[in-house]
Amino acid sequence: MPEPEDLLDQLLGKRVLILTGKGGVGKSTNSAALALIAANRGQRVLVIEVDAKGNVPDFFDTRRVGFAYRRLHKGVWGLSMQPKDSMQEYLSLMLRVPGFSLRPLQGFMEYTSNAIPGLKEILVTGKIYYEEKAVGEGRPRWDLIVVDGAPTGHVVSQLGAARHLAELVRTGPIHDQALRVADMLSDTRRTALVLVTIAEEMPVNETIDLARRLTDDTDIVPAALVVNQLQPEVVAPDEMDEFKKLVTRDGRKGFLARYPEGEPLLDAADMMLRTRSQAEHLRTVLRRTLKLPTLTVPFVFQRNHGFAFTRTLARALEEGG
Amino acid sequence: MSIDRFLKPGVLILCGSDGVGKTTIAASLAVRAAMREEMRVAVLTIDPARRLANAMGLARLGNRLRPVKLEGARRAGEPRGELVAGMLETKSAWDELITKQAGGPAKAERILTNPFYKEISGAFVGSHEYIAMERLYDLEQSGKYDLIVLDTPPSRNALDFLEAPNRMTELVSGGLLGLLARPSMFAGRVGLRMFSLTAKPIMRIADNLLGGSTLTELSQFLVSVEDLYGGFKSRAEGVYELLGRPSTDFLVITTLEDVPFEEARFFVEKLQEAGMHLAGAIVNKRLPSYLLDPAATNLARRLVERSPPLERALAENFLAYRILGQRDHDLMARIEDLGVPLLGSVPKMIEPVHDLDGLLEVAELLVSGA
């Protein structure tokens, strides 16, 4: 398994990174941090938010974006998927539907997309494909595309949709385009799916479940795992045993004799140690079941999730935990 | 006002952002209700929460509701009621619904094997939300349960489940079907006529894009589910009627973090707009108040300056957690912003709940920590 540093290099060497995970585990913050790292290394990065209400721009202290990409930071641009705009672009740019029939056709297709499974989803993955292919000034417009992807519950149907659609619609431009998108998504040289989790029970179970469903229902193999929000190391590893003694009954007595007001410090240490040991256990489970190269990210004790937070997180990711 | 008020005959629906602990709270409330009241209680969860299943003494949760042996709980004495638990499995729930509604095994088979159906039941966005409401309706209609506790599917479009029945009706109803084909009143069902595919240029382009037979196949699918339309429509109406009943209560669950908190506000707003009865809010994973203790804070600030490494580490750790404690405190101070009464809070649990007693303890903390 590669060292964290190599793993990060490997990931940033792809064309497309897609992040997924249970809600609340830090998909968006990690998308922002990865984009920032790549940009700091001189890449031109596009962040695509699959959710129209995505908040990645918040992590660059800038206002929300729409379907047209906009600069978020030096080297980082962003856009968010908007159903109407993306249908129009899909029809006109990707399927090359002539302008005069666009408007009535769009209405029809929006309606049809409720019934043809995969059609809505392919607007998202189709857009990723389109931007991956986009050229500006004689070279690819983006060095790297980071996708703040769908949560675990929806990502399988979203990523699998292109392949399914190609089977359901057996000829014609939609079929051809769906195939190309599906091929890009399953091409491990170009695309890496990154599973993000925290070391808590439900997100871990969901991540394992997700990996199983990806294997069963798609030809996409996850490339890496990010374990976010781990308890940071408060002491050097060789001092850990001594630290643990502090919160035992005798250790407490000694500390409280010196600092009678110090009980909350001991309780907070106890909370941290118990959280750690839960996390250790879950990380073992993850390691054994998923066998994925892993980046670990320490918990960032910061109040606000603005650019300062993103910068701290990026640094933590680069250090690999 | 205690949460116990709402553990009464009717329906209790838990809403909240992903990861706030809806499923655990749903199970806890259901166990408490069944222990304390002479009620038949059903709890239906959305997450494949194996540990919760185990905590209730079940190997796993599935579409079929299974009885929970409440005698396993030591905490609350003799159980007075009964409890069954199940989980929503979208695919099998759909198959069941179609089999029941199709009007005959042959018709059901035709739908179940249709490629569009296969894709729709698994992947169709909103199908999960729809089927959750469908199951709720079914359980309620069965008359077998006094109280049904349901947690809602995690979804960014918070209240998809409220809109799902209507959207489904719309999909199956006239609109698209009418556009594509006339399952004609004149020619009988077999004589499906692609009335306008060649007549309208738009349809010609669409047909071209979709590759020849797709539209035909789609219309055939829609014709085959057309019979279900009446059923869907009346059931959707039934679901709305059930959701709006005075005996149906909604609980909004949140943690004291910015995103779930904002989402909780959004839930409240939408539920109120929809005229639903909001019982109140529950705060989960609350951090201990000792993190803000002034004397301890002063001590920690002193110790980080100059002291041996272990004591410094102890102080640093406290101050780090204190930041989170402060966030908790600040959001708690804004709890009225939610616009609904706070019914209780549960402290952050580090070790997961693993048995009935653990679930009962969560419920007790919820009642006592109001």
Domain at A211, CATH number: 3.40.50.300
pLDDT at B320: 94
A31 found inside a domain: yes
| B318 within a domain of the structure (yes/no) | no
Could A243 and B313 be called an inter-chain contact, meaning their C-beta atoms sit closer than 8 Å? yes
Domain that residue B227 falls in? 7-291+325-368
Q: Which two tokens stand for residue A248?
A: 């035992």
Q: Is residue A164 part of a domain?
A: yes
CB contact under 8 A, B317 and A264: no
Closest approach of chain B CAs to the CA of A116, in angstroms?
A: 7
Question: Residues 6 or more apart from A17 whose CB is under 8 A from it?
Answer: A11, A31, A34, A144, A145, A146, A147, A191, A192, A194
Q: What is the distance between the alpha carbons of residues A314 and B35, in angstroms, rounded to a whole number?
A: 49
Q: What confidence score (pLDDT) does residue A95 get?
A: 77
User: Can you name the residues that pair with A298 across neighbouring β-strands?
Assistant: A230
What angle, rounded to 10 degrees, do the helices at B160-172 and B228-244 form? Answer: 160
The CATH number for B330's domain is: 3.40.50.300
A319 inside 8 A of chain B by CB: no
> Where in the sequence is the domain holding A29, given as residue range(s)?
4-236+292-319
Distance CA B111, CA B122 (A): 14
Which B positions 287-326 lie with beta carbon below 8 A of chain A? Answer: 288, 290-291, 293, 295-296, 298-300, 303, 309-311, 313-318, 320-324, 326
pTM of the model: 0.87
Residue pLDDT, tens place only, A127-150: 999 999 999 889 999 999 999 998
Q: Which residues of B214-230 are buried (b: 16+ CB within 10 A; e: fewer)?
A: bbbbbbbbbbbbbbbbe
In a domain, A123, yes or no: yes
Which residues in chain A have their CB less than 8 angstroms from residue B179's CB? 108, 111
User: What is the number of structural domains in chain A?
Assistant: 1
| Window from A182-191, A232-241, B247-256 with minimum mean pLDDT | A232-241
**pLDDT above 70 as % of chain A:** 96
Residue from the list A161, A262, A301 with its beta carbon closest to the beta carbon of B299: A262
Whether residue B299 is contained in a domain is answered as no
* Nearest alpha carbon to residue B144 among B81, B70, B235, B61: B81
CB A147 within 8 A of CB A48: yes
Q: A203 and chain B: CB distance < 8 Å anywhere?
A: yes
Of A101, A168, A267, the CB nearest to B119: A168
Do the Cβ atoms of A105 and A91 come closer than 8 Å? yes
Q: Are strands B82-87 and B66-67 parallel, antiparallel or unpaired?
A: antiparallel
Distance CA B52, CA A269 (A): 28
**Does residue B220 belong to any structural domain of this protein?**
yes
Q: What is the pLDDT of residue B205?
A: 72
Interatomic CA distance for residues A151 and A94, integer angstroms? 26
The DSSP string of B201-224 is HHHHHHHHHHTTTHHHHHHHHHHH
Specify if A273 maps to a domain: no
Nearest CB neighbour to B201, from listed A101, A112, A117: A101
> Using one digit for the tens of pLDDT, what is the confidence trace for A203-226?
998 899 999 999 998 999 999 999
If one compares B352 and A262, the residue with the highest pLDDT of the two is A262
Asked if B124 and A117 count as a contact pair (C-beta separation under 8 A), the reply is yes
Does the residue B115 lie in any domain?
yes
Which residues does chain B have with pLDDT short of 70? 1, 47-49, 75-76, 118-127, 154-204, 211-212, 225-227, 229, 369-370
Are residues B116 and A25, on separate chains, in Cβ contact within 8 Å?
no
Instruction: Indicate whether A8 pLDDT > 90.
Output: yes
| SS3 at position B66 | strand
Which is higher by pLDDT, B12 or A116?
B12
Nearest to A235 among B167, B313, B318 (CB): B313
> Is B154 within 8 Å of A274 when comparing Cβ atoms?
no
Residue A2: predicted pLDDT: 62
Number of independent structural domains in chain B: 1
When CB atoms are compared, the residue of A115, A262, A267 closest to B171 is A115
Q: Is A121 on the interface with B (CB under 8 A)?
A: yes
Identify whether A26 is part of a domain: yes
Mean pLDDT lowest among A86-95, A255-264, A288-297, B229-238: B229-238
Model pLDDT, residue B226: 67
Residue B317 belongs to some domain of the structure: no
pLDDT at position B188, please?
A: 37
* Range scoring the smallest mean pLDDT among A49-53, A71-75, A223-227, A261-265: A49-53
Query: Of A126-140, A243-257, A305-319, B79-93, which range is least confident?
Result: B79-93
**Residues A21, A295: Cα–Cα separation, whole Å:** 14
For position B190, what pLDDT does the model report? 37
Interface mutation vs chain A, best among B121, B156, B170, most A CBs within 10 Å: B156
